[in-house]
C-alpha cells in the first residue's frame, strides 16, 4: 500500500521532487502540491499531472480534501517559511521532510545516519552541498579522526532559484554544523559558489579533511572507505562520482591549517566530486537539485517503510 505525501514549494526543488515521486517511487504517492505563486510552472505541471494544487501555501494545503490522507509533507520553500510550516504540520500529526536549511529537526544524510532518525517528526536534509560532501567526511572519519572538514560546493547559477539564493547564509551555517554533527569532524566549514558560466557547469564539490600522522595513516583504507561511500550514494544518485583519485598531502608547519591538528604532523585529504543530475526537471548540470531531492525521496521511503513495519 502506498503512503500519501504532499509538497510545499512549487519552485525548482519542489517540482523536481514531484516528478521524481511520480516516476520513481513505488511506495510514495504524491497527491498535493502547495505554492504561493498561482502562475508558477510547478503548480501548472502538477495540475497537468493530476496532482491537487493550491497557491495559498500551507493554509491552502491543509484545506484540500486530499490532505486528509497525507502522512508525509516535503517542505521545499525557505528556512524562514519552514518554521511556521512545521508548527502547523506537527500540530496536525504529519511528519515533515525539510529540504530547507532551517534545521528544526535532526540532520539526515541517508548513507550516514538515516537509520537513527526513522521515527522523527521532522528531519532536515541539510543542503545540496551537505548531501554531496558529508558522506565523504564520514568515510574519512570511519578510518581516522577528522580534525577539520572543509567543503566547497560549486553550482550553476541557473540551478539556484529564489529560495536557494535567499538561504545562502543558512546554507553555510547549516552545512558547517552538519559536517561536525553528522560527518564527525571536530570543526567544519562550508563555502558555496554560484557559478554564472555559460554554458552552465555541472555541480562540483571539493572536500578537504585534516587528519594526523602521514606515516601511520592507512591511505589505502581511507581511499577504500571513500570509494565504498561513493557507491552507496550512487545507489540513489547515479550521477554522483569521484572526479579524480583521492589526494593526500602533508601540511607545512607554518600553514595556518596546521594549528587545527592537536598533535603530530597534519595531513590534508582532498576529494573532488561531481554530481550530474538525472534531468527530471532542470538539465543535467543541476546535480545540486538532483542530490537534494533524491536524498529526500530516499529518506521518506525508508521512514514510511519503518512506520509500516512497527505498526
Residues known to be catalytic: 128
Please tell me the distance from the alpha carbon of residue 258 to that of residue 209, in angstroms, as a whole number.
12
CB proximity list for 50: less than 8 A, separation 6 or greater? none
Q: Which three cell numbers stand for residue 49?
A: 499531472
Please tell me the distance from the alpha carbon of residue 90 to that of residue 99, in angstroms, as a whole number.
16
Which strands sit side by side in the sheet containing 28-34, from one edge to the other?
Answer: 52-54, 28-34, 3-8, 70-75, 95-98, 122-124
Question: 15 to each of 33, 194, 281, how far by Cα in Å?
Answer: 9, 21, 7
Q: Flag whether 185 is marked binding.
A: no
Q: Which three cell numbers stand for residue 217?
A: 595513516
Q: Flag whether 160 is marked binding.
A: yes
Q: Flag whether 63 is marked binding.
A: no
Q: Flag whether 163 is marked binding.
A: yes
Q: Flag whether 19 is marked binding.
A: no
28: part of which helix (H) or strand (E)? strand 28-34
Question: 97 to each of 100, 133, 243, 290, 311, how far by Cα in Å?
Answer: 9, 20, 30, 16, 21
Q: Flag whether 288 is marked binding.
A: yes
Residue with grid cell 510545499, as numbered in its chain: 8
Q: Flag whether 159 is marked binding.
A: yes
Q: Flag whether 154 is marked binding.
A: no
Q: Flag whether 225 is marked binding.
A: no
DSSP-derived pairing of the beta strands 266-275 and 247-251: antiparallel
Q: Flag whether 162 is marked binding.
A: yes
Q: Prior bond to 98 cis, omega within 30?
A: no
Q: Flag whether 95 is marked binding.
A: no
Please tell me the distance from the alpha carbon of residue 11 to that of residue 159, in angstroms, as a whole number.
11
Q: Flag whether 167 is marked binding.
A: yes
Going by the annotation, the residues of the binding site for NAD(+) are: 10-13, 159-167, 288
Going by the annotation, the residues of the binding site are: 10-13, 159-167, 288
Amino acid at each position: 500500500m502506498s503512503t500519501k505525501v504532499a509538497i510545499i514549494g512549487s519552485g525548482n526543488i519542489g517540482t523536481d521532487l514531484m516528478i521524481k515521486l511520480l516516476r520513481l517511487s513505488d511506495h510514495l504517492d504524491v497527491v498535493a502540491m502547495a505554492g504561493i505563486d498561482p502562475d508558477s510552472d510547478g503548480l501548472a505541471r502538477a495540475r497537468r499531472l493530476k496532482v491537487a494544487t493550491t497557491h495559498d501555501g500551507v493554509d491552502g494545503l491543509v484545506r484540500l480534501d486530499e490532505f486528509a490522507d497525507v502522512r508525509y509533507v516535503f517542505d521545499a520553500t525557505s528556512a524562514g517559511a519552514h518554521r511556521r510550516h512545521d508548527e502547523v504540520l506537527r500540530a496536525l500529526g504529519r511528519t515533515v521532510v525539510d529540504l530547507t536549511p532551517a534545521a528544526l529537526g535532526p540532520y539526515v544524510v541517508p548513507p550516514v545516519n538515516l537509520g537513527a532518525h526513522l521515527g522523527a517528526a521532522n528531519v532536515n536534509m541539510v543542503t545540496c552541498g551537505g548531501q554531496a560532501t558529508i558522506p565523504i567526511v564520514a568515510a574519512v572519519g570511519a578510518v581516522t579522526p577528522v580534525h577539520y572538514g572543509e567543503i566547497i560546493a560549486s553550482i550553476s547559477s541557473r540551478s539556484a532559484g529564489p529560495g536557494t539564493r535567499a538561504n545562502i547564509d543558512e546554507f553555510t551555517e547549516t552545512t558547517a554544523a552538519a559536517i561536525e554533527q553528522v560527518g564527525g569532524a571536530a570543526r567544519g566549514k562550508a563555502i558555496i559558489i554560484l557559478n554564472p558560466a555559460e554554458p552552465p557547469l555541472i555541480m562540483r564539490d571539493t572536500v578537504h579533511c585534516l587528519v594526523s600522522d602521514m606515516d601511520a595513516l592507512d591511505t589505502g583504507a581511507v581511499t577504500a572507505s571513500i570509494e565504498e561511500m561513493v557507491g552507496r550514494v550512487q545507489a540513489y544518485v547515479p550521477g554522483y562520482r569521484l572526479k579524480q583519485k583521492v589526494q593526500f598531502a602533508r601540511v607545512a608547519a607554518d600553514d595556518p591549517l596546521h594549528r587545527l591538528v592537536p598533535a603530530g604532523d597534519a595531513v590534508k585529504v582532498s576529494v573532488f566530486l561531481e554530481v550530474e543530475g538525472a534531468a527530471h526537471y532542470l538539465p543535467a548540470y543541476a546535480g545540486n537539485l538532483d542530490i537534494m531531492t533524491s536524498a529526500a525521496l530516499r529518506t521518506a521511503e525508508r521512514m514510511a517503510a519503518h512506520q509500516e513495519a512497527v505498526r
